[in-house]
Amino acid sequence: MDNQELVAQLVANARQALAEFEHYTQEQVDACVNAVLDAFGAHAEELAREAVEETRLGDLAAKIEKNAGSPDGIHHALDGKKSVGIIGYDEENKLALVAKPKGIMCSVAPCTNPNVTAIFNAAYALKGRNVLIVAPHPRAKKSTLHTVQIMNDALAALGAPKNLLQCIEEPSIECTQLLMQASDVIIATGGAAMVRSAYSSGHPAFGVGPGNVQTIIDKGFNYKEAAEQIVAGRSYDNGLICAGNQSAIYPAADEAEFLAAMKEAGAYYVSDDETVQKFRTALFPDGRHINSKLVGQYPKDIADAAGVEIPEWTRIILLKVDKANAGAKDALCAEKMCPVTIAIAVDSFEEGVAVAKANLLYEGAGHSAVVHTYDDKKAEYAGVELPVSRLLVNQPGIFAANPALANGLNPTSTLGCGSWGNNSISENLTYEHLINISRIAWIKQ
């Protein structure tokens, strides 16, 4: 069977499942969603081990934590939410809102997060009575397929329609492109080229943009607290999370105190130009694009590639960058999908915002940023000035996806970056983006 025949069969299966599933009640839909969440959670550690073994990316403990915690976040996000039939009324405008499925969803899944991408997209698609076909990354095909099989087994036990969830077993670029062209809606969680392909497919698409989360620390903030959160956000899963902290923009007047706090939290600081250059060359061999061999690796692996010895206690590598070189003047100001971040000293909070903006406009505009401040007005100033869809206040960058249910953002694996990132949404993807809403309109009196 060639790729065209394969995709045609997958889509035919999906159409049949969709025809059955769209007649499900809210209670039946919620039962399906809960079944896949519970099944995924029961296999969280197993799937994490498979993902690390297959992809050789990231940190096992972090992946286990992500897999185990994601179902709870999704349960919280969906509990009590209506997605079938009449879901609400606008009494003032005399409108009734009716939810209807969008159809066949194509989920382009990355190798960096093969398990959680599948569970988030499956749960949100099913909540809207849609069907989902997953196109895995070739590097994570076994782990992604197993994730879908586990969810399908749970649905089968409920007697749900067959083929609500499907997965390409032998993925390829051609097969994924054909699937995107044949689906009704695309959720593209992957590299920039794949996201562009999704938007050119002729169908509605939800994509993501590169992350380059800038972190600004206000003078007088608790530097120990900020350092612990920055190191936690940058080291998590060996830096694979797109919302991990990519910089520490701190008050120059308190440099010694701040850097001491970073060291205590596990950051190895490199300030001399020669050594920084070794890391710059290892990370960006051509001066612009990240060395794929270092993505998702441990600090020691990165240091070895740079020919530099670092202490065993190192959780992240912290490289000095001059504020005058913010943005396109220094490749280190771009996204680094590994436990490496940059340290930039500034003379004021406002200057810190300007530096962060320059870095974001170089790469990562539309994604997220972090401020550590006790002054709400400064947080609002940064939120107005920075080209980001999410500004986190006094949190690790990874909370942009709200994995710990610590803020009001939707838990998700797809962080929309708005027009800055060439995306259709500037918020966290959830089931509401995957339903059509009809409006019944009466005459207003």
Active site residues: 242
d(CA 406, CA 221): 20
- 8 A C-beta contact, residue 84 and residue 26: yes
CA distance 395 to 229: 7
Strands of 302-349, DSSP E: 316-320, 340-346
- 8 Å CB contact between 316 and 339: yes
At 153, phi and psi to the nearest 5?
A: -60, -40
**Cα separation, 198 vs 2, whole angstroms:** 21
Specify whether the CB–CB gap between 98 and 438 falls below 8 A: yes
Pair 157, 128: CB distance under 8 Å: no
> In this structure, are residues 170 and 141 in contact, taking their beta carbons and an 8 Å threshold?
yes
Question: What is d(CA 117, CA 108) in angstroms, rounded to the nearest whole number?
Answer: 9
In whole angstroms, what is the distance from residue 247 CA to residue 215 CA?
Answer: 5
Report whether 214 contacts 247 (CB < 8 A).
yes
Asked whether 108 and 136 are in contact (CB, 8 A), the reply is: no
Surface-to-core class of residue 5, CB atoms within 10 Å of its CB (0-12 exposed, 13-18 middle, 19+ buried): exposed
Structural contact between residues 403 and 383, judged by C-beta atoms closer than 8 angstroms: no
Closest listed residue to residue 435, CA positions, set 23, 84, 161, 115: 84
Torsion of CA 123, 125, 128, 129, to 10 degrees: -100
Extended beta strands in 172-299, E state: 185-188, 205-207, 214-217, 247-251, 267-270
Sequence-distant (6+) residues with CB within 8 A of 240 are 57, 58, 112, 113, 295, 296, 337
Segment holding 200, helix H or strand E: none
Q: Which of 170, 203, 165, 167 is nearest to 187 (CA)?
A: 203
Could you tell me how many residues make up the chain? Answer: 445
Task: Assign 323 to helix, strand or coil.
Answer: helix
